[in-house]
A and B are shown apart, each in its own frame.
Chain A
């Protein structure tokens, strides 16, 4: 389908309109397989919309978006792409284990995946508790575990570490890196800039446009800043002054 074999996600001229607002317009993006890409930007910048388009649950007004060489959301992709929404989408009135049992059945994943995924998000000691009674951070980890079932080739994670304590965040980023090393393509969004430092590639979004697409060291060198947050502010400053000049 015109996509190089090592490209996991390719968006071309993508346009998404939600209500009155054009969230993404003529948007291009390419993500190579087996990489960990951080999608950063303030809330409302279009991160979630882009992720929804990649998973194929977003109505698209124009352009194309392909995942693993297939149109996003098409049938053969539905068990190859894992997706975690910002607000956890699991059943509060089931236990952790029951939730994962059900989603594993839906995916046709082996039942051994259930315990593995629970362990990966460090919830083994809570496996038999009702999800509705867990803390916010634990709740969202159940949602994350669901996306780890059945060995997906592409993982689209919308703010998976929000509300988690620092230790757990480090652990999860470790997991994301191990997954990327094993060949999984990860797209992780965050509005916390310090998380940027854990990604090999950073895509900074602002108002539906790519403000920067770089590795962290290059980004810092280019902006003459010391961390991702300053770099981001600097880029916004530059973009705004360019608009004023023209």
Chain B
């Protein structure tokens, strides 16, 4: 692993993004617009305060998953990944380069969304806003790690997009937003216990409810999942291919 290559990779990913202003605009504006829509649906009432923070966890996870999985798939199909690995690039340089770049984007995205939700839409969370933002960034990194891993199992962009309903929607349904996790019927509760998004949303619900929230445990689980997925992702990066 080399810090020089890792940082150059992050800079390169951000440069690519800079040439695509439409994607940047979508990344930054769409979550805030959806948050506003949610506020409107509930007429700014109590339900908005309850669901808003959880949504703040789901946006970056979903968006970064999509962006990363497609970007990495492109690296695999255009041969740039093979070229990088034939050069002195380490697998970790590649993975961390992406994680750093999209982590930075997620930080801006989450800060903007939280500012709109709390400042403009008057979302009331009992805990401090900065923890909402911090948890959102960790969720984004989870999305990056899952996207990096999943891209190995798709041959085309059509396929990779299909992983969204296959892998993300079930997590959304079981994360406790629609039905509290403890009230999920039968085997669904233990299933929700092994899905990373459940812990992300748990952390957000804690910040929503408690003045001095303890989110370290939930965040640790999210980080653990991210690291495990990165390790699995590294195993799919092959220097030699058949």
Contacts of B171 in A (CB 8 A): none
Residues 201-242 of B contacting A (Cβ, < 8 Å):
239-242
Can you list 10 A-B pairs with a CB-CB distance of less than 8 A? A57-B82, A58-B240, A87-B78, A87-B79, A88-B79, A89-B79, A91-B78, A102-B9, A106-B9, A146-B83
Given A93-B19, A106-B5, A106-B88, residue A85 in contact with residue B83 (CB < 8 A)? yes
Residues 12-28 of A contacting B (Cβ, < 8 Å):
17-19
B46 on interface, CB distance cutoff 8 Å: no
Partner of A55 from B5, B84, B86 at Cβ < 8 Å: B86
Is A57 within 8 A of B8, CB to CB? Answer: no
CB distance from B133 to the nearest CB of A (A): 29
Which B residues have a C-beta under 8 Å from some C-beta of A?
Answer: 4-5, 8-9, 11-12, 15-16, 19-20, 78-80, 82-89, 239-242
Is B4 within 8 A of A108, CB to CB? Answer: yes
Contacts of B4 in A (CB 8 A): 105, 108
Given A79-B88, A94-B12, A107-B88, residue A57 in contact with residue B19 (CB < 8 A)? no
Complex CA gap A126/B198 in Å reads: 50
Q: How large is the interface on A (under 10, 10 to 19, 20 to 34, 35 or more residues)?
A: 20 to 34
A78 on interface, CB distance cutoff 8 Å: yes
Is A58 within 8 A of B241, CB to CB? Answer: yes
Residues 107-125 of A contacting B (Cβ, < 8 Å):
107-108
A103 on interface, CB distance cutoff 8 Å: yes
Interface SS of chain A? loop
Which A residues have a C-beta under 8 Å from some C-beta of B?
Answer: 17-19, 55-60, 73, 75, 78-79, 81, 83, 85, 87-94, 98, 102-103, 105-108, 130, 146
CB distance from B63 to the nearest CB of A (A): 18
Complex CA gap A107/B15 in Å reads: 19
Is A105 within 8 A of B8, CB to CB? Answer: yes
Contacts of A55 in B (CB 8 A): 86
Contacts of B80 in A (CB 8 A): 89-91
Is A18 within 8 A of B82, CB to CB? Answer: no
Complex CA gap A59/B241 in Å reads: 5
Complex CA gap A73/B239 in Å reads: 9
Partner of B16 from A19, A58, A91, A108 at Cβ < 8 Å: A91
CB distance from B27 to the nearest CB of A (A): 15
Is B5 within 8 A of A57, CB to CB? Answer: no
Is A57 within 8 A of B241, CB to CB? Answer: yes
CB distance from A82 to the nearest CB of B (A): 9
Complex CA gap A12/B72 in Å reads: 36
Partner of B87 from A18, A60, A78, A94 at Cβ < 8 Å: A78
Complex CA gap A146/B84 in Å reads: 11
Contacts of A108 in B (CB 8 A): 4, 88
Name, among A60, A78, A89, A92, the residue most crowded by chain B CB atoms within 10 Å (CB to CB): A89
Look across to chain A and name the residue whose beta carbon is closest to the beta carbon of B20. Answer: A93
Given A58-B240, A91-B12, residue A106 in contact with residue B79 (CB < 8 A)? no
